[in-house]
Structures are given as C-alpha cells and as structure tokens.
Amino acid sequence: MTTPYPFTAVVGMDDLRLALLLNAVSPAVGGVLVRGEKGTAKSTAVRALSTLLPELSVVAGCRFSCDPAAPDPQCPDGPHGNEPAMHRPARMVELPVGASEDRLVGALDIERALAEGVKAFEPGLLADAHRGVLYVDEVNLLHDHLVDLLLDAAAMGSSYVEREGVSVRHAARFLLVGTMNPEEGELRPQLLDRFGLTVEVAASREPDQRVEVVRRRLAYDDDPDGFAGRWATEEQALRERIVAARALLPRVVLGEGVLRQIAATCAAFEVDGMRADIVMARTATALAAWAGRAEVVSGDVRQAALLALPHRRRRNPFDAPGLDEDMLDRVLDEFSDDTPEPPPEPDGTDPGGAGPDDPGRGPGDAPGPDDPGRGGGPGPDGGPRDEGAAPDTAGPEGPGGSSEQRGGVPRQAGAPQERQATGPGEPFRARVLTVPGLGEGAAGRRSRARTEHGRTTGSRRPEGALTKLHLAATVQAAAPHQRARGRSGRGLIVRRDDLRQASREGREGNLVLFVVDASGSMAARQRMGAVKGAVLSLLLDAYQRRDKVGLITFRGREAALALPPTSSVDAAAARLGSLPTGGRTPLAAGLLKAHDVLRVERLRDPSRRPLLVVVTDGRATAAGRGDAVGEAARAAALHAARGVASVVVDCESGPVRLGLAGSLAAALGGTAVTLDGLRADSIAGLVKDVRGGQGARGARPAATTVSTDEARRAA
C-alpha cells in the first residue's frame, strides 16, 4: 500500500486544512466540498486526512463496522451478542465517478432470494464507508442516480437495497468529502446543500511557495516512507490535538448570544431552509474545541459563516459562490453582546506545514482573489481573467485599445466597427427541446433513452449480471417447467435461464451546440440583449437537464469555437455575456464549424446525441466564394444528411419579415421557432419535438415558424 502524503506537509491552503480538521473533530458538521482548479492538490489533502482520524472500535467479523457499545439492531450480520471488539483505522472509501448502483449500495442475489428465500447480500461502498470517510473525486460529474442514492443515505444515515420485495437495510453514516473543478460543470443544488462546508482552492502565485510545493513533492515521490518519517512528529502532534478536541467538544457551550448571531447571519443572507443554521452552530462549536476553548465566541461564528454559507447563497447556476464579508461583519456587530473575546487561535498548521503549533498565515501564502498581485482575478467583465492575458489599457476609443487594433489583430480598412458587448436580457423558463427517437446516452433529463432507471417497458434475457429483475416475466418463464423440475411444494423452482432483465426507459442528456449569430444585423435595435437572454434561458434549461453544451459564434468572415463542448454551463454563460457583435454574417462558416465540432464529438462520445440550436435572423452576407446563400444551404445540407436534430431560433424582428430563418430550418431538416416561442408560458411556444431523427436517409418535414400573431389567431 502506498504511503499517504503527510497532512502537515501540505503547503498553504489554510481554509481547506481547517475545514477538514473541523470535520475530523466533529463529523456532525457534515463534510466538505472542495472547489478549485486542476492540479491544486485537492485530492492529496483529502487522502492525507485519513491517517489523522482516530481508530475505531468495531464488532469483530461484522462487515458493516458496528460499534460494540451500540450495535445496529438491524445489521444484516446481526444480531450481535458477545462478539469480541477489535480496533482498526478509520476507512477512506473512494467512490469512482463511473461506479454502478450495485457497487455503491450493494447487491442482492436475486436467484437465491427467489428460489431459497434467503437474503444473500454483498455490501457496497456505503457499508465500507460507515463511520469513516466517503470521498468522491469530481463529484460534479457523478451520475444523477448515484447522487440520489447519496442524498438518501446522507439524510437518513442508512442505506436501503430493495429488489422486488426483498430488502436489506444497514447503517451508513459517513463523512462526505467531494472535490470538483467548476470548469467541468456545477453540482446539483440538492447535493450541494448536503455538504456542511465548502472551500475554494487555487494555486499560489508566490514563487517561493510554489518552489516549496515542488521541492516537497519531489522528495515524497523519491522516498515516500522516508518523507513521511520526517513529518511523523508533526503528524502525531496533530493527531493528538484532534483527540483532545473531540474530548472537549461535548463540554463546549454555545451561548444564547452567539446563537442569535448565527440565526441573524443566516436570515440576513437569505439562505434556504434551516440546515445552514445547524451547520454553522456545529462548526462554531468545533472551532472552539479545536482552539481549546469551552465557549463559542463571535470570531468562531464569523469563521463558521465563511465556511458554511458561500455555497448556500447561490440563486442560479450562473452565480459564483461567495459571501460579502463587510455585510457579515455588520450583522455580527449588530447582534454582538459586547463581551471581550480572546485573540484568534491558530488553526493548528502553518502555511508551510511546519507543524501544529506554528501560527497563522505566512508571507508565502497565496493572496486572496482580490489581492492586486494575484493572477486569475476578475476580468473587466466580471468573469475570470485569462492567465496569459495582458492588462487592459483604456485609450481614446475605450477599453482594449484603439478601434484600429483590438486583441493584436488590425481591423481591415472599411470594415464595420465592432460594438461593445451587450448584456443579456432577463432569462425565462424555456420550453423543452428534445431529440426524437430513443437514445442510449448518459443519464439526464432531456430526451427519451434506454436507461437503467425509469419506467419498465418490457423484459429481455440478461446479457451479464442481473441488475433489474422483471418479476412477472421471470415467473412466466419458469412456470411451464415446474413439473419437469420435480416441483412438489409451494415454492417456485427458478433456474438461471428463467431470469429476465427489465427493460427501462428514462431520459438522457444531450450535447446542445449553440451556433450564435454575432454579426452587425443582430445588434440592430438592441436585438442582441434579447437574443442573449434567450440563449441564457436555454443554457439554464441545459444545466437542469444535465446536458453538455458548446458555443460557436460567427461574425465578420469567420466562425469561432467560443467554448468547446463541456458540462460547465456557467462557463458558456460567461462567454456569452462578453460576446461582442459587428461585421458581416458568415452563416455558412458557422454551420461548417458546427459540423466539424459534432464530427469530433461523435468520435469521443458516440452515444450522446446532439441537438443543434442556431440563433440567427437567417441572413447570409459573407462567403468564401461569393455565393453566401448557396454556401449556407450546402452547409445546412451536411447536417440534414447526418440526421442532426436542429432548431433555428428566429431573431428577425420588425414589421417586415423575410422568413429567412424558416428557410434555413427547412434546409437543416429541423424546426424554426421565434424568440417568443421559446417561452414555456407563451401560447406561441408550442415547440414540438425536433422532427426527423430517423437517420441520414429518413424523411424530414419542412420546418415551421410559429409567430405570436399566428398563435393568437389560431386560438
């Protein structure tokens, strides 16, 4: 077994280490979610925590880690009587993103259950993690059905496995720790709220601290045992401090004054529900015990709020987690009881990992996100700044330099001047756009698909291990053979060949590729704000339906892949917000770029079906060889030949409409819909499922455009 990296040797990341240690002191805090860019040692720090946890006393031979002092009366290995106790280290159980349901919760032997009436149960990862740590790397990529199982176990402290009337229950109380890279997509709000604390981590921009990180990592890779031995004293001291804090925890007093501060803080920041209040109270108590105090003070409440509230402040997936510290201080001051407080206690580990008794943050720590020397801070549009980007300069023509040169590319003489980015309009609830037919892609909430979860539509012989039994079909298959098998009693004699797997139909997530017209005509009459609001609404819908999204823009004479297909819908929203407009309309270039992107994605993920959403007024005024309209039609025919499900969002406005978007939709073999028709609460929003998903040779009906006036007349 590989020697874990020492926890005290982790450089910097004070908030992360403190959050993990608080959960080690009080598992009731509820776990930690670690958000941060790739390569910041998130997983290293989490795995290092396992060596600091105190040993457990368990019933010998129990696969479910029952406590000898209070064994689970419903334990599948019980009832426990006078079995001897044994001591072992707390487990760190890792849940792979691609794990199956049976691997997570365990599996029943259905054949023995039906034929013999016994509960032959093989425990899963939830049983292994009981009284330990369940670690999920890339938790935001976890399949929805596994997320649901985690939510149930975390809420009830137990796991239920049921298969057609045969059920097993066992205790499953664990410390849930997850790590994620926000660039790869956000976490479902239900699971986000289950994490007690959240911390943001980023690589230090201080050269000295980065040098120390590299030096320690190389030393560990060369000799893991020797490196761990050099930190053994610090590790043992930290382990003893955790034990002492656990012993002090029941005696810590949470006074009425700080309890009012906690309630006032949660109310002021308008967090949903009461879980935040409870988590803050438990965190503040753990902070006091960690500092060796028997009473919670206002400083503990402040630190608890910074760890427990940021991820509960989000109102939609495009909001970045955060907390207004000035507002927090005002609320705490308003409800302070004016009692003197002791000076802040150290968190137990120094920024360089020198040991548990070294104080505070050192000069080598990474600056905060608003520090002037830190790269990667907010850019001019409020989003993340490119690491390699040069600082903005404001000249006579505004930000970004003169109108003759922006981004290092000279503007051609006589070309239309680029307009500044227009902010998106207010998002709305969008109608569901689906891909026709029956897919087999990743689990999601958009289009129909064959899945392991959903309504039962039939039965089939199992190709591998039986996971979902179709009981009626199994009985029908076994019934004709009972006399030949010598059945004499009431039981049914079932053989392996009789078992039938249930065929189920659910929903899949799709690849929604947006192709957005950013030409000068789209900026007319402030149209672009409404267009961005519509696309933002579709992005929000894609987030809720667990889709991958991509963004292509076209203007001037070319198209650009603004965002490669990703699960990070908020990244697409950020790119959309900063999208400038201006120039001609290279519609063919946008469609050809989409064709190339879909071709590559088809090779990467052949089971995920695409949905092409073209947002344009249908004009084509720029081409490689002079015939802009003809080139656009030929590019559209490529998608139609591939059977790509397509929707054209018609952005044309004004009293005179040319209907060009409808012609484009017909060439794509898809459907056209107006901006008003995208609204779920609009009469004009009767958008049918995208037609013609029968393959390249399938017949596809002509696209239609439903306007508000037409819908009103029809009504």
Which sequence positions are flagged as catalytic?
A: 275
- 3-class secondary structure, 511: strand
Q: Which residues contact residue 540 at a Cβ distance below 8 angstroms, ignoring those fewer than 6 apart? A: 316, 317, 318, 427, 430, 569
Greatest C-alpha distance within the chain: 97
Q: Which residues contact residue 457 at a Cβ distance below 8 angstroms, ignoring those fewer than 6 apart? A: 503, 504, 505
The phi and psi torsions of 357 (rounded to 5 degrees) equal: -100, 0
| Closest to 533 in 3D by CA, of 505, 573, 503 | 573
H or E segment and range at residue 36: strand 32-36
Beta bridge partner(s), residue 253: 295
Alpha-carbon torsion, ordered 658, 664, 667, 673, to 10 deg: -100
Q: Which residues contact residue 82 at a Cβ distance below 8 angstroms, ignoring those fewer than 6 apart? A: none
Asked if 298 contacts 332 with a C-beta cutoff of 8 angstroms, the reply is: yes
- 3-class secondary structure, 122: strand
Asked if 516 contacts 535 with a C-beta cutoff of 8 angstroms, the reply is: yes
H or E segment and range at residue 631: helix 628-642
Rounded to the nearest 10 degrees, the angle between the axes of helix 298-308 and helix 14-25 is: 110
- Pull the structure tokens for residue 113: 């259950």
DSSP code for 98 = T
Q: CB burial class (10 A; 0-12, 13-18, 19+) of residue 460?
A: exposed
Cα separation, 705 vs 691, whole angstroms:
14
- Pull the structure tokens for residue 419: 């307009």
Beta bridge partner(s), residue 175: 133
Asked if 427 contacts 533 with a C-beta cutoff of 8 angstroms, the reply is: yes
Cα separation, 87 vs 60, whole angstroms:
9
Half-sphere exposure of 693 (CA within 13 A, CB side): 20
Cα separation, 652 vs 617, whole angstroms:
5
From the CA atom positions of the chain, what is the Rg in Å? 30
Which alpha helices (DSSP H) does 390-518 contain, by range? 471-478
Residue in this structure with the two tokens 């801070």, named with its chain if needed? 377
Cα separation, 550 vs 555, whole angstroms:
17
Alpha-carbon torsion, ordered 541, 544, 545, 546, to 10 deg: 120
Beta strands, E only, 332-438 = 394-395, 398-399, 405-406, 409-410
